[in-house]
Amino acid sequence: MIKFIEVEDTLPLRNTLLREGKLTLDECRFPTDSIESNFHLGYYIKGELVCISSFAPQKYGEFTGTGYQLRGMATVEKYRGQGIGNQLINFALIYLRGQKANYVWCNARKRAIKFYQNVGFEVISPEFEVPGIGPHYAMYVKLQ
Ligand SMILES: CC(C)(COP(=O)(O)OP(=O)(O)OC[C@H]1O[C@@H](n2cnc3c(N)ncnc32)[C@H](O)[C@@H]1OP(=O)(O)O)[C@@H](O)C(=O)NCCC(=O)NCCS
């Protein structure tokens, strides 16, 4: 079941799945978490939060219209490869289309490129390094 959740709900999974459990929960907050109209989605299985993603209005480069940045996308390891992340992003894309957003973008880890391509994103930047995390590409999907 997919639900809108609070940023606080996302912090433990952000830490364990995206930051190797090395940070405090407060350090797992993104600056974009305090932007108005940001939102967080969670996928629950039998009451357990197993997949998260966060979205905030943010422009990318020269793109026109309302852009949203996707951040903090992660699925608990034992639930990966079952289409849960795919469903969560598709839910967000449909919701944001309804909100009249024009595009969604993200800085994707190299290993997750195919996952984002599966839901319509395309690569829009050369490879770049995020210190301590690894190679990334900016990716984008047009909504309308
Ligand atoms: C990237 C990540 C969020 C994907 O989550 P997920 O829930 O496993 O995603 P999905 O199951 O929808 O897709 C993963 C794979 O399962 C496959 N899959 C299996 N069954 C599927 C189904 N029913 N529907 C869609 N895809 C399915 C997909 O083809 C996909 O393979 P691919 O990425 O090689 O193309 C997850 O691997 C993760 O948390 N990784 C660590 C953190 C991370 O890197 N986050 C991204 C930061 S940019």
Q: Which CATH superfamily is domain 2-142 in?
A: Gcn5-related N-acetyltransferase (GNAT) (3.40.630.30)
Nearest to 19 by CA among 132, 139, 135, 138: 132
Q: Which atom of ligand 1 is nearest to the CA of 74?
A: 39
List residues near ligand 1 (CB under 6 A): 17-18, 51, 73-75, 80-86, 108-109, 112, 114-115, 118
At which residue do the structure tokens 């026109």 appear? 64
pLDDT digit string, tens, across residues 52-108: 999 999 999 999 999 999 999 999 999 999 999 999 999 999 999 999 999 999 999
Nearest atom in ligand 1 to 75's CA: 39
How many degrees, rounded to 5, is the angle at CA 137 between CA 9 and CA 24?
A: 30
Closest residue by CA, ligand 1 atom 21: 83
Domain residue limits, the chain? 2-142
Provide the whole-model pTM: 0.96
pLDDT at 132 over 90: no
Q: From 86, 93, 141, give the residue whose CB has the most ligand 1 atoms within 8 Å, as the site to mutate.
A: 86
